[in-house]
Amino acid sequence: YPFLFKKNADIETAYAEALTVKKVFNTPYDEKDMPALGTFEQANANVKEQAASIVESMKDEQVKSAFAKGEIRQIVALIAYLNSLK
């Protein structure tokens, strides 16, 4: 899946979708022992922190360069998601 290394993750849309699911379907985000959704600013800071840790251990220079420009590639988002399943 080489496109994962080229396309950026859309963090704003992902947050908006999670917020909609929380409000419409009463998903228990922000409750004890559940993932915290918080504000967009909090979520964005959390995403950037996780992404920095992942990008640091990657070998792909294009992914590192994109992150330095403030972009998060889809491969980084996928790795973060898989790490959350631990």
- Indicate the domain borders of the chain: 2-84
Q: What is the pLDDT of residues 69-79, one digit of tens each?
A: 999 999 999 99
Report whether pLDDT(57) > 90.
Answer: yes
pLDDT of residue 27: 86
Each residue of 46-56: b (16+ CB within 10 Å) or e? ebeebbeebbe
User: pTM of this prediction?
Assistant: 0.83
85 or 14, which is more confident: 14
* CB within 8 Å of 57: residues ≥ 6 apart: none
pLDDT at 33: 80
- Angle between the N-to-C axes of helices 11-25 and 40-56, in degrees from 0 to 180, rounded to the nearest 10: 130
pLDDT above 80: residue 35: no
Rounded CA-CA distance 51/67 in Å is 8
Whole-number Å distance between alpha carbons of 37 and 34: 9
Mean pLDDT for 32-49 is: 88
Q: Which helix (H) or strand (E) holds 56?
A: helix 40-56
Q: In this prediction, what percent of the chain has a pLDDT beyond 90?
A: 81
Q: Which residue type does 4 have?
A: L
